[in-house]
């Protein structure tokens, strides 16, 4: 019987390690026995102390090392690859924020396009077994009907952020085709959980309800999101790191991954939640009613996100399944302890 692959002893580069998902993934990989080198530029898009707090926890773990480095410094990226020699790469660094992309577009093309190019060039110069990178459910834009499938149309983005993430997928495909870099893009669906980003709705809503401030409810609450708990996301990434496209293709009934060793996966909970239920879940966990301020739809938003995760399940045997009630409960408990000190 063939022994299944293991992360133990693997050298994994995690970009965006001070970020929300990157931090949780690094902890998951370290627990599995991997040697992890984290990279992050610690930018000030949101509270840097939160990022430094995550890194401080990681630096207390054996097998973890860290570089404060910006992806756009291409020569430094090449030097890092030459020194660390990663076997696997989990690329989670990016300028995030759909609405922020309306105000600071150049930050997105710099970090998400030029930065990703630097990473691809480093993987070209120092070949890796598998590059897994973060895309986004936002790439589906207005051209797809829920539930979204990886084969659905994804050429009508409604924000620059979404456009940069779709560009990443096309860039990865071209480098896979030209240089044989095995790559998998992960379309994340509204990831939430402890140590999350303050600009995300679940975080800002919880903060507002606890402090008695009103919360802005866009499109009068008539929206749905496929909320995905962060531990489910890191489990999916950890499993997919060990299944490059050539190994995944037979599990999908494909002779090969296609013209290039590149595949796309949805990573979502496959259970869209109406905004009203989402707010009610926060109210229940906090123990206080929210004051709602209804507003029109914001530019860059979509009505609904919903993930078909059959491809992920076929390749990994795993489906995200944490309920919103359980996940929000864990987040609120973390928020009370780490942000309110009680």
Run means of pLDDT, 10 residues per run, the chain, 342 residues: 76 98 98 98 94 96 97 97 98 88 89 97 98 96 88 90 96 97 97 96 94 87 90 98 95 77 96 92 95 82 86 97 97 91 62
Residue with structure tokens 């050429």?
A: 155
The answer to whether residues 14 and 90 touch, using CB atoms and an 8 Å cutoff, is yes
Q: Which domains does the chain have, with CATH numbers?
A: 11-190+227-270+306-321 (3.40.50.720)
Q: What is the pLDDT of residue 58?
A: 98
CA distance 108 to 140: 18
Residue with structure tokens 């998951």?
A: 28
Q: What is the pLDDT of residue 3?
A: 55
Q: What is the pLDDT of residue 72?
A: 96
Q: What is the pLDDT of residue 305?
A: 85
The whole model's pTM is what?
0.95
For residue 289, give both structure tokens.
Answer: 């009613």
Provide the annotated active-site residues: 161
Q: Which of 288, 275, 282, 305 is nearest to 204 (CA)?
A: 282
Q: What is the pLDDT of residue 57?
A: 97
- Provide CB contacts within 8 A for 98, sequence distance 6+: 138, 159, 161, 162, 300, 301
CA distance 93 to 14: 8
CA distance 193 to 258: 35
The answer to whether residues 322 and 279 touch, using CB atoms and an 8 Å cutoff, is no
Residue with structure tokens 């984290």?
A: 38
- At 292, is the secondary structure helix, strand, or coil? strand
User: DSSP string of 96-155?
Assistant: --TTHHHH-HHHHIIIIIIHHHHHHHHHHHS--SEEEEEEEGGGGTTS--SSB-TTS---
CA distance 211 to 218: 20
For residue 296, give both structure tokens.
Answer: 């029109």
CA distance 48 to 57: 14
Kindly state the DSSP code that residue 17 receives in the 8-state scheme. T
């Amino acid at each position: 019987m063939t022994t299944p692959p293991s992360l133990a002893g693997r050298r994994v580069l995690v970009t965006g390690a001070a970020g929300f998902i990157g931090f949780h993934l690094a902890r998951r990989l370290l627990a599995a026995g991997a040697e992890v080198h984290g990279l992050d530029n610690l930018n000030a898009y949101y509270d840097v102390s939160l990022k430094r707090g995550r890194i401080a926890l990681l630096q207390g773990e054996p097998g973890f090392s860290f570089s404060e480095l910006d992806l756009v410094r291409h020569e430094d990226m090449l030097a890092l690859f030459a020194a660390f020699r990663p076997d696997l790469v989990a690329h989670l660094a990016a300028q995030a924020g759909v609405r922020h992309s309306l105000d600071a577009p150049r930050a997105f093309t710099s970090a998400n396009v030029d930065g990703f190019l630097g990473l691809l060039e480093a993987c070209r110069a120092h070949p890796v077994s598998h590059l897994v990178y973060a895309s986004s459910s936002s790439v589906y834009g207005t051209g797809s009907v829920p539930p979204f499938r990886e084969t659905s149309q994804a050429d009508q983005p409604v924000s620059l952020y979404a456009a940069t993430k779709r560009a990443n997928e096309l860039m990865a495909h071209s480098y896979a085709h030209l240089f044989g870099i095995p790559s998998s893009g992960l379309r994340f669906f509204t990831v939430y959980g402890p140590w999350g980003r303050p600009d995300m709705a679940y975080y800002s809503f919880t903060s507002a309800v606890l402090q008695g401030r009103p919360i802005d409810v866009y499109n009068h609450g008539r929206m749905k999101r496929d909320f995905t708990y962060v531990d489910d996301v890191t489990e999916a990434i950890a499993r997919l790191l060990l299944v490059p496209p050539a190994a995944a293709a037979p599990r999908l009934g494909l002779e090969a991954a296609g013209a290039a060793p590149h595949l796309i996966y949805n990573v979502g909970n496959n259970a869209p939640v109406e905004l009203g239920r989402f707010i009610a879940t926060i109210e229940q966990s906090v123990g206080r009613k929210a004051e709602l301020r209804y507003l029109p739809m914001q530019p860059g938003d979509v009505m609904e996100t919903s993930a078909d995760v059959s491809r992920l399940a076929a390749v990994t045997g795993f489906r995200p399944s944490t309920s919103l009630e359980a996940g929000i409960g864990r987040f609120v408990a973390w928020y009370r302890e780490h942000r309110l000190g009680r």
